[in-house]
Amino acid sequence: MLVSLFVGCYNDLLFPGTGQAVVKVLERLGHTVEFRSAQTCCGQMHYNTGYTREAQPLMRRFVEVFRDVETVCAPSSPCVAMVREHFPKMAREMDDAKLLAEVEALVPRVFEFTEFLVKKLGVEDVGAYYPHRVTYHPACHSARGLHLGDIPYRLLNKVHSIKLIDLPESEECCGFGGTFSIKNADTSNAMLADKVRSILDTRAEVCVATDNSCLMHIFGALHRERTGVRTAHIAEVLASTEGEPFA
């Protein structure tokens, strides 16, 4: 299958390894990946901060870039949630029937990376090897936004030599919330402190999630406190093999 990768603006700049890991996993499974370089950002940050009008041209661009593809796969649930939950609403509010029709046609073809593997491709064992003690943080947008449920766990459970430890109070938000982490930094930190405590309680080496936005936040405290716990995107875990460790 030809899979068009939407990497996400923050992954593009800050976490290129995640995009590379997605490419590696999909190619290992025998699929062809394309990357349309005209892609930029889904507009979620603008939209969630109240810059609705500014998000509109970004949505338009997203639709223009991807409207003719078979499948879009994105290693970022906030971006996919933006497309699914907010694009149709935005298009309706813009009163643009053509755009709305294009959005509605595109939405069912946009998948988050782990749901793409399990739901669309029907794969759980991707042949990964990751000999580490890992805990999984269900990001808000993957758990409550996209209702991924046990999908990421099913993938992680099939990774060879992994030791997966349940995260206590796993579905509590880490306190990132985009601009929330800056605008209400004190409250955000209070939330982060509890998340870090839960992670440390698992004695994991690595904290894994479907989203680098949460992981960037969690890393911020794990590293500042020199906990020695690292963070890795789930794609990077799934990309790792016995011969070629990824993350």
Partner 1 sequence: MSIRIGKASEARTFTEAARDSLENSQLRHNIRHATHVIRDKRGKIVGEMPDWEQLRDAGSAIKAHVMRNLDLYLEQFEANVIKAGGHVHWAGDADEARTIIRELIEQHGGKEVIKVKTMTSEEIELNPELMAHGIAPYETDLAELIIQLGEGQSSHFVVPALHINHLQIQQIFKQKMPLEEMGLSDLGEKPTELAEAARRYLREKFLRVKIGVSGANFAVAETGSLVIVESEGNGRMCLTLPDVLITVVGIEKVVPTFQDLEVYFSMLARSATGERMSPYTSIWTGVDPKDGPKEFHVVLLDNGRTRVLEDEEGRQALHCIRCAACLNACPVYGRTGGHAYGAVYAGPIGAILMPQLQGMEHSQSLPYASSLCGACYEACPQKINIPEVLIHLRSQIVQEKQSHLGGKLSGENLAMQLMRKVFQSETMLRTAHKMARLGQGPFVDRNVITHVPGMKAWTETRDLRAIPKQSFRDWWKQREKEKKGGRP
Neighbouring C-alpha atoms within 13 Å toward the C-beta of 51: 12
170: contact with partner 1 by CB under 8 A: no
Residue 219 sits in the site that holds partner 1 (CB under 8 A) = yes
Asked if residue 137 binds partner 1 (CB under 8 A), the reply is no
Task: Note whether 88 binds partner 1 by CB under 8 A.
Answer: no
Nearer residue to partner 1 within complex by CB, 21 or 159: 21
Nearer to partner 1 among residue 45 and residue 159 (C-beta): 45
Picking from 71, 74, 68, 66, the residue whose alpha carbon sits closest to that of residue 39 is 66
119 binds partner 1 (CB under 8 A): no
212 three-state secondary structure = helix
Q: Does 168 bind partner 1 (CB under 8 A)?
A: no
| Alpha helix segments (H runs only) across 42-112 | 44-49, 52-66, 77-81, 87-93, 97-106
Grouping H, G, I as helix, E, B as strand and the rest as coil, residue 133 is: strand
Q: If binding is defined by CB under 8 A, does position 138 make contact with partner 1? A: no
How many residues sit close enough to partner 1 to count as binding (CB under 8 A)? Answer: 63
Give, to the nearest 10 degrees, the angle between helix 52-66 and helix 97-106.
Answer: 60
Closer to partner 1 by CB, 52 or 158: give it. 52
Determine the interface stretch with partner 1 among 24-32, 50-58, 151-159, 237-245 (rule: CB under 8 A). 50-58
Task: Check if the beta carbon of residue 202 is closer than 8 Å to that of residue 165.
Answer: yes
Q: What is the DSSP letter of 86?
A: I
Classify residue 109 as exposed, middle or buried by CB count within 10 Å of its CB (0-12, 13-18, 19+): middle
Written as six digits, the tokens of 105 are 């046609």
Q: How far is CA 173 from the centre of its chain?
A: 15
Residues 222-241 within binding reach of partner 1 (CB under 8 A): 223-224
State in angstroms the smallest separation of the CB of 95 from partner 1: 15
**Residues of span 15-44 touching partner 1 by CB under 8 A:** 16-20, 35, 37-38, 40-41, 43
Interaction of residue 145 with partner 1, rule CB under 8 A: yes
Binding site residues, partner 1, CB under 8 A: 7, 9, 11-14, 16-20, 35, 37-38, 40-41, 43, 45-54, 57-58, 61, 85, 140-141, 144-145, 171-173, 175-192, 216-217, 219-221, 223-224
